Amino acid sequence: MTRTTPDQGTTAPLGATVPGYPRIGPNRELKRALESYWAGESGREELDAAARAERERTWRRLTALGLDTVPSNTFSLYDQVLDSAVLAGAVPPRFAALGLDALGTYLAMARGTSGAAPLEMTKWFDTNYHYLVPEIAPTTRFHLDPTKPVSEYREALALGITTRPVLIGPASLLLLAKPADDAPDGFRPFDRLDDLVAVYALLLTTLADEGVAWVQLDEPAYAADRTAEELAALGRVYERLGGLAERPAILVSAYFGDLGEALPVLASSPVEAIGLDLVAGSVPVAGDVPGLATKTVVAGVVDGRNVWRTDLDAALATLRALEPQAAAVAVGTSCSLLHVPYDLDAEASLDPRLKEWLAFADQKVAEVVALAAALRDGQLTPSFQEARTALSDRASAPEVIDDGVRSRLAGLTPEDARRTAFAERADVQRDRLGLPPLPTTTIGSFPQTGDIRRARAAYRAGRLDRAEYTTRMRAEIERVIRLQEKLGLDVLVHGEPERNDMVQYFAEHLNGFATTEHGWVQSYGSRCVRPPILYGDVSRPAPITVEWATYAQSLTDRPVKGMLTGPVTILAWSFVRDDQPLGDTARQVALAIRDETVDLEATGIGIVQVDEPALRELLPLRRVDRAAYLDWSVGAFRLATAGVADETQVHTHLCYSEFGDVVAAIDGLDADVTSIEAARSRMEIVPDVAASGFARGIGPGVYDIHSPRVPSADEVEALLRRALDAIPGDRLWVNPDCGLKTRTYEQVEPALTALVEAAWRVRPAAG
């Protein structure tokens, strides 16, 4: 067995590399393998084979594209944070108690079992990827299970490919974790850092024994604001790991922003290399960062999370500016390529002109390779000229500019984003709608059944004509309306059967967007999205949802809520143009949605919901940037919703639990009713919302739709009573946490029955 000792100067350089790569499979092979395994349609062998095939494909592909060094352990069956928690032995007792094998335990942590609720899922920084939140207690017994990184390293080696294992760094792992429920008050996972670092130390020694030359430890938590204590702790971690007698060379990577004060800490530690996001952040100056001149810097100059072709000349200039600041410069993407689709070449239907402006994961890898070659020997490959041509074409393309949209935007006044005072509107709406206290409703989508998805696939493939597709969707809407009437809900929805996704659907109907056929990006576990590409000025050529909504309303006397996606969420879940401020783009999308709200109102729809589940997600990681963001994002929502009359009730829906950061902004949205996620935290946030002075309608979720579990009426009743302690009955709405599209009717029917029953029981107390 070879042993490596870090030796600055003789360690092989990192060259052209990437911090990570997609893993769901170019045709979502892993998604299918997982879902078929869960459904009991295939066994362990098939799942293992699919996983192994995806890893092999990735290593071969990255090598063939010309990278000098290739990462491993970027594959995950479900989530990379869960992988790192398991590697460190952080398996909460409720999962250990199930007595399952390693895979069973892992999947139980990810998805839960009847006896054990899964780990919480939350957003990965400001992306649309969701990770599983490790639970740490004072009693968590950290111990090393190096199986995954070691076996993947060997697997690649057997193919003749030497890789660099990638793991979440210990400091970020704990900063991303939460205290276990039974941990004492005041306990923080970060308090356990020394214990966890001992496990990482053992891991590095184990990897050195395997012959691993480089390891990558990701510390993205340090691209956000950190306390002095957290910064000092980072220094201690890498002093300790760097001081090991036997270890691979260490690359510490951070992304999604500047390292700020964490950079000097790392630069003065004994690690060999630091990975920087130079797309979101900027080139450091060695004079300000003692120690930087002794490090290799992996310069993330190719955007890892958007799909625009790189300006190679500008990127090369950045690399050259960095060269005098560091001992060596390697070239990479700004973050893992997990957040972009695999391959632009798979898109046969994209407009060829637009296609020239784009780069997906494989094209980005090629850009990294071209930049590394240019930096090394000054030779510019033809891709430099191609990039220049594409960029200048994009800058002057008439498709990107719409003078009508521009002049409409220029003509806006503050009045356009302002409604009458809330209290006045509320009276008018109460008279019009005549709803009981604690009105019951849902968030919009009903289960997307196999039949619906197959009908849509057939329609797209031309096997089903438009009329037949419409007939089937209308039949589904009628079914959903009748079901809601039977269940006794007060405010109905049409169920969104016609939507493939709440963002892609709108993008398909707006000017300025392109959509992909195969551009799948993992959102969580086996669930994927195809983010649309917002490339030009946005406008709405024709009404989008009006026919579906009015059809639904024609079937019933109860109010049907119109259902739209808000401008901030449309932006957040698309690949957005980088040639103008986000706020300008948001206002364009807002005007398109505003047109839709006005048309819905004109056809008699009395309640319109404009979903903004991504409002919190885009909140900048650094506090200094937040006020400016909230200004344009809240402004865009108001512009989208202020075109309707007083008697039209505007709802919004936000699904996340970290409410505190944005509660003032939510008031600023000026919606009449806001539904939020609250079931999993058992209404924890409700008192905070009330204490903040929030005085509008609010629907804290009483049914956790992320779990297959069906709540009982008693349970929902208890949640409602708790909410009623803080919120008066005339402002409290009763609804699930989020849409029902990922659930089945077998779960949804009894859950909504319980929800309505509980509302009836609590109403007398609400006066």
Ligand X SMILES: Nc1nc2c(c(=O)[nH]1)N[C@@H](CNc1ccc(C(=O)N[C@@H](CCC(=O)N[C@@H](CCC(=O)N[C@@H](CCC(=O)O)C(=O)O)C(=O)O)C(=O)O)cc1)CN2
Residues at the site binding Zn ion, with contacts judged by CB under 5 A: 613, 655, 738
Q: How far is the CB of 503 from ligand MET (least distance, A)?
A: 9
Contact between residue 250 and residue 298 where contact means Cβ atoms under 8 Å apart = no
**Those residues with Cβ within 8 angstroms of residue 644's Cβ, 6 or more apart along the chain or in another chain:** 419, 597, 598, 601, 608, 650
Binding to ligand X (CB under 6 A) within 506-525 occurs at 523
Residue of 342, 573, 637, 703 interacting with ligand X (CB under 6 A): 573
DSSP string, 402-438: -HHHHHHHHT--GGGG--S-HHHHHHHHHHHH-PPSS
DSSP state of 578: S
For residue 8, what are its two tokens? Answer: 């600055």
Contact between residue 510 and residue 538 where contact means Cβ atoms under 8 Å apart = yes
Q: What ranges in 135-257 are assigned the alpha helix state H?
A: 147-158, 170-175, 193-210, 228-242
Q: Is 371 among the residues that bind ligand MET (CB under 6 A)?
A: no
Backbone angles phi, psi at 372, to 5 degrees: -65, -40
Nearer to ligand MET, 289 or 655 (CB): 655
Residue of 52, 141, 353, 453 interacting with ligand X (CB under 6 A): 453
Nearer to ligand MET, 595 or 611 (CB): 611
Per partner kind, with CB cut-offs from 5 to 8 A, the member of ligand MET, Zn ion, ligand X, none near residue 563 is: ligand MET
For residue 702, what are its two tokens? Answer: 């009483």
Residue 593 to residues 189, 306, 507, Cα–Cα distance (Å): 43, 24, 11
Q: What ranges in 546-699 are assigned the alpha helix state H?
A: 546-554, 567-572, 582-602, 626-641, 663-668, 685-691
Tell me: is residue 494 an annotated ligand-binding position. no
Binding to ligand MET (CB under 6 A) within 443-502 occurs at 443-445, 502
Q: How far is the CB of 127 from ligand X (least distance, A)?
A: 10
Q: In which order are the strands placed within the sheet that holds 607-611?
A: 561-565, 607-611, 649-654, 673-676, 697-700
What's CA 412's distance to the chain center, in Å?
32
Q: How far is the CB of 654 from ligand X (least distance, A)?
A: 11
Residue closest to ligand MET when measured from CB atoms: 739
Per partner kind, with CB cut-offs from 5 to 8 A, the member of ligand X, ligand MET, Zn ion, none near residue 454 is: ligand X
For residue 513, what are its two tokens? Answer: 């967007």
Q: Is 738 among the residues that bind ligand MET (CB under 6 A)?
A: yes
- How do strand 70-72 and strand 163-168 relate by DSSP bridges? parallel
Round to whole Å and give the CA distance between 537 and 391.
17
Give, to the nearest 10 degrees, the angle between helix 147-158 and helix 44-64: 60
Tell me: is residue 611 an annotated ligand-binding position. yes
Residues in the chain: 767
Residue 597 to residues 17, 590, 603, 643, Cα–Cα distance (Å): 47, 10, 10, 7
Round to whole Å and give the CA distance between 307 and 363.
9
Q: How far is the CB of 527 from ligand MET (least distance, A)?
A: 11
Residue of 217, 252, 563, 752 interacting with ligand MET (CB under 6 A): 563
Tell me: is residue 676 an annotated ligand-binding position. no
Residue of 653, 696, 731, 743 interacting with ligand MET (CB under 6 A): 653
CB-neighbour burial class of residue 2 (10 A; exposed 0-12, middle 13-18, buried 19+)? exposed
Q: How far is the CB of 117 from ligand X (least distance, A)?
A: 18
Tell me: is residue 443 an annotated ligand-binding position. yes
Tell me: is residue 309 an annotated ligand-binding position. no
Scanning 217-225, 382-390, 440-448, 523-531 for contacts with ligand MET by CB under 6 A, the matching segment is 440-448
Q: How far is the CB of 736 from ligand X (least distance, A)?
A: 14
Contact between residue 352 and residue 371 where contact means Cβ atoms under 8 Å apart = no
Tell me: is residue 339 an annotated ligand-binding position. no
Q: Is 742 among the residues that bind ligand X (CB under 6 A)?
A: yes
Nearer to ligand X, 384 or 703 (CB): 703
Nearer to ligand MET, 370 or 655 (CB): 655
Per partner kind, with CB cut-offs from 5 to 8 A, the member of Zn ion, ligand X, ligand MET, none near residue 210 is: none
Tell me: is residue 335 an annotated ligand-binding position. no
Q: Is 450 among the residues that bind ligand X (CB under 6 A)?
A: yes
Round to whole Å and give the CA distance between 659 and 694.
12
**Those residues with Cβ within 8 angstroms of residue 628's Cβ, 6 or more apart along the chain or in another chain:** none
130 classed as catalytic: no
Contact between residue 154 and residue 210 where contact means Cβ atoms under 8 Å apart = yes
Q: In which order are the strands placed within the sheet that holds 533-539?
A: 511-514, 533-539, 575-576
Nearer to ligand X, 387 or 666 (CB): 666
Q: Is 675 among the residues that bind ligand X (CB under 6 A)?
A: no
Q: Is 72 among the residues that bind ligand MET (CB under 6 A)?
A: no
Q: Is 574 among the residues that bind ligand X (CB under 6 A)?
A: no
For residue 554, what are its two tokens? Answer: 């024609």
β-bridge partners, 273: 251, 296
Amino acid (1-letter code) at residue 592: A
Q: How far is the CB of 130 from ligand X (least distance, A)?
A: 7
Q: Is 381 among the residues that bind ligand X (CB under 6 A)?
A: no
Nearer to ligand MET, 518 or 616 (CB): 616
Catalytic residue among 130, 518, 651, 706: 706
Round to whole Å and give the CA distance between 56 and 61.
8
Q: Is 502 among the residues that bind ligand X (CB under 6 A)?
A: yes
Round to whole Å and give the CA distance between 707 and 120.
10
Q: How far is the CB of 503 from ligand X (least distance, A)?
A: 4
Residue 404 to residues 398, 410, 538, 555, Cα–Cα distance (Å): 13, 10, 10, 38
Q: How far is the CB of 3 from ligand X (least distance, A)?
A: 44
Residue of 611, 617, 704, 737 interacting with ligand MET (CB under 6 A): 611
Scanning 419-427, 445-453, 506-514, 658-666 for contacts with ligand X by CB under 6 A, the matching segment is 445-453
- How do strand 214-218 and strand 163-168 relate by DSSP bridges? parallel
Tell me: is residue 52 an annotated ligand-binding position. no
Nearer to ligand MET, 384 or 656 (CB): 656
Number of residues that bind ligand MET (CB under 6 A): 12
Q: Is 743 helix (H, G, I), strand (E, B) or coil?
A: coil
Nearer to ligand MET, 216 or 445 (CB): 445
Per partner kind, with CB cut-offs from 5 to 8 A, the member of Zn ion, ligand MET, ligand X, none near residue 675 is: none
Q: How far is the CB of 308 from ligand X (least distance, A)?
A: 20
Q: Is 501 among the residues that bind ligand X (CB under 6 A)?
A: yes
What's CA 250's distance to the chain center, in Å?
28
Residue 311 to residues 95, 320, 485, Cα–Cα distance (Å): 48, 14, 56
Q: How far is the CB of 742 from ligand MET (least distance, A)?
A: 9
Nearer to ligand MET, 563 or 630 (CB): 563
Nearer to ligand X, 458 or 724 (CB): 458
Of 674, 710, 709, 677, nearest to 694 by C-alpha is 674
Tell me: is residue 617 an annotated ligand-binding position. yes
Per partner kind, with CB cut-offs from 5 to 8 A, the member of ligand MET, ligand X, Zn ion, none near residue 503 is: ligand X
Tell me: is residue 28 an annotated ligand-binding position. yes
β-bridge partners, 608: 562, 650
Residue of 254, 503, 589, 698 interacting with ligand X (CB under 6 A): 503
Q: Is 589 among the residues that bind ligand X (CB under 6 A)?
A: no
Residue of 454, 463, 482, 623 interacting with ligand X (CB under 6 A): 454
What's CA 241's distance to the chain center, in Å?
31
Number of residues that bind ligand X (CB under 6 A): 18
Tell me which residues touch ligand X (CB under 6 A).
128, 448, 450, 453-454, 456-457, 500-503, 523, 527-530, 573, 742
The binding site for L-homocysteine consists of 443-445, 496, 611
Residues in binding site for 5-methyltetrahydropteroyltri-L-glutamate = 28-31, 123, 128, 527-528, 573, 617
Query: Which positions are catalytic?
Result: 706
Task: Name the site residues for ligand MET (rule: CB under 6 A).
Answer: 443-445, 502, 563, 611, 613, 653, 655, 738-739, 741
